[in-house]
Structure 1
Amino acid sequence: MDNQHVDAWKDMIYPALISKKEELEMLGYEQATPEDVWKCLSVKVWKGEPEKRLHEMVQDIFHLKSSVYLSYLTIQSYENDDLAASVEALLGNTENKES
């Protein structure tokens, strides 16, 4: 098969994403989802939406290490905390002005 952007392969490789999710669950990452695995690969492995062949995509999924997934989750957690703090600060400022 020809090279395609990674997003073009998503539906075809979904069973591999489910398999990786199940593997991560066995390693203790009970909250893992196929979508999280996809996002992790997009951020950590496939930076810049490169073009790849189908077998390369599947290989990347099965070679994704739990340490890379943990790193991704940690960064996401910090970003979500920053976002939550920003929203809280904005809402706090709004409430103070209304009082």
Structure 2
Amino acid sequence: MEVVKKVNDWKSEIEPALNSKAAELKLIGYNQATSEDVWKCLQEKVWKGEPSKRLYEIVQDIFHLSSNIYMSYLTINAHQDEDLAASIAALTGDNQTKNN
């Protein structure tokens, strides 16, 4: 019998696959890649809506995550972080934060 669970319910069991993918991304130049970043990328870009999947499907998604999708995820998050910093600076009147 194949077990089907929500994606988040598999996280503790797939940590070795996440670590492996993070190591692979580091080898191709994404030096700051972590298993948590890979997890968040998959949640935002691949598993929208927290679907139910089998273990082998989750592992397959991890290993098939392309560097292009990961780079897109990082780029979008960087822009969101910059927007957040600018918003905080505008609210606090802190010009130092805007310039960084």
TM over 0.5: yes
Q: Which of 1 and 2 has higher RCO (CA within 8 Å, sep 6+)?
A: 1
Pairing of 1:56-67 with structure 2 (within 5 A): 56-67=57-68
Pairwise CA distance, 1:61 = 0.1
Q: State yes or no: 1:83 paired with 2:84.
A: yes
How far apart are 1:2 and its partner, in Å? 1.4
Regions of 4+ moved over 6 Å:
none
List alignment gaps of at least 5 residues for structure 1. Answer: 94-99
Match for 2:40: what amino acid? K
Alignment of 1:14-93 (within 5 A): 14-92=15-93
Matches of 2:71 and 2:92 in 1, distance apart? 31
Distance (whole Å) between structure 2 residues aligned to residue 85 and residue 50 of structure 1: 34
Could you tell me how far apart the structure 1 residues matched to 2:19 and 2:89 are? 35
Q: Tell me how far apart the structure 1 counterparts of residues 35 and 92 of structure 2 sit (CA, whole Å).
A: 33
Name the % identity: 60
- Aligned residue for 1:4? 5
| 1:59 Cα deviation after fit | 0.1
* Number of equivalent positions: 93
In the superposition, the TM-score normalised over structure 2's length comes to 0.91
Deviation, 1:76, is 0.2
CA RMSD of aligned residues (A): 0.9
Q: Which has the larger radius of gyration?
A: 1
When the two structures are superposed, what TM-score results if normalisation uses the length of structure 1? 0.92
What secondary structure sits across from 1:13 in the alignment?
helix
Name stretches of at least 5 consecutive residues in structure 2 with no aligned partner: 95-100
